[in-house]
Every structure is written in structure tokens, then in C-alpha cells.
Amino acid sequence: MSRRVLRSGEGPVSPWNVANQVTVARILLAPLFVWLLFADAHGPLRWVAFALFVVGTASDGVDGWLARSRNLRSSLGVILDPIADKVLIGAALVALSVLNELPWWITLVILVREIGITVFRMAILHREVHGASWAGKLKTVTQSIAVSLALAPFADLLGTWMYAVNTVVMAAAVVLTVWSGAEYLWKAWRAR
């Protein structure tokens, strides 16, 4: 019996189904996005890098929708999807910090939480699976918006007040990152 790649239905699913292909494409966008950002940090290519980041983060919903609507859920998808989020957001945070546009402590707080929870999730995956909570989903959306605002040179177009908006949204992303990580660990501890 062949494994399903695109068609919906029941039966075995290929690990390289279309939903997972979208997830892998999101991971592969990260190096291209970073290269574009460093190649032209203050020029027109920055807008292209911003657009790639937005496409990468927006396609997170596409791979999930494909997996659910076509019944293409797979173990590989469960592992790759959160990794794709972390790679894209992490690459953007590190790039912004290298460019001295974001304090390193913000990048480190977010990366330590993201990597720590991902490693913890992988370690307990064989025993139990904890899906993303509302705080975790809100954290991902807020991080995506905060990084998008930091990437796009909106202050050049709209005025310096955009720096205040960026600061508030990034602060919210940091708070939600820490909060959702603590909540995840608390739920895992209670389940044991």
C-alpha cells in the first residue's frame, strides 16, 4: 500500500507529505532570509528579507491546515513544525542582535526558552505529548509580530514613534515567552 503524500483519506501517511514539505521549506527560508538581511541591512533587500520572514511565519498555518484537513499528520511533522518556528524566529533574533538592533539579552531569553522547551518536549515525547496552550500560541504570534516590526524599517516610513511600538510588542513577546515556558513546565510536572 502506498503512503499518502497529498491526497486526503485514511491509511499510511508519507513522512514527506505536502504538509511536511511546507515545514521543510520554512526551515530552508531561514538561511536565505538571514543572507538577504546581512547583504543589505539598510537597503531595499531588507524589505525582501522582511517579506520572506512574513511568508515563512504565515506558512506555519498552511502546513498545519494541510495536515489537519487532509489527515496528513505524521510523527515527523510533530517534530519538524516547532523546529521550523524556532529556526526562523531564532535566526531573525540573532541577526537583529548581530546588527545591534536588538539587545542580546532579549535574544538569549527567547532562545533559551525555545531551545529548552523543545529539548524537553523531545525528551518526554515517548511518554506524553503536551500540545501548545493558548499562551504558547499567543507567544508564537506575538514573537512573529515583534520580529516583523523589528525587521521592517517602518520608522523610516512612518516616523520614530514606531520604535516605541516595536519596544512594546517585543516586551510583550518576551513576557509571553517566559510565561508560556513556565506554564508548559508546570503542566508537564503536574501530569507526572
Provide block-wise average pLDDT over 10 residues at a time, the chain (192 residues).
76 89 94 95 94 93 89 85 91 97 97 90 67 80 96 91 95 96 87 76
Q: What residue spans of 12-44 are helical by DSSP H?
A: 18-39
In angstroms, the CA 147 to CA 94 distance is 11
* pLDDT of 131: 57
Q: What phi and psi, each to the nearest 5 degrees, are found at residue 27?
A: -65, -40
* pLDDT of 1: 47
In angstroms, the CA 102 to CA 163 distance is 11
- Do 14 and 5 meet the contact criterion of CB atoms below 8 Å apart? yes
Q: What phi and psi, each to the nearest 5 degrees, are found at residue 170?
A: -65, -40
Q: Which residues, including other chains, have CB under 8 Å from residue 166's CB and lie 6 or more apart?
A: 146, 149, 150, 155
Architecture of the domain defined by 18-191:
Up-down Bundle (1.20)
**CA dist 139 → 16, 59, 109, 114 (Å):** 28, 17, 13, 11
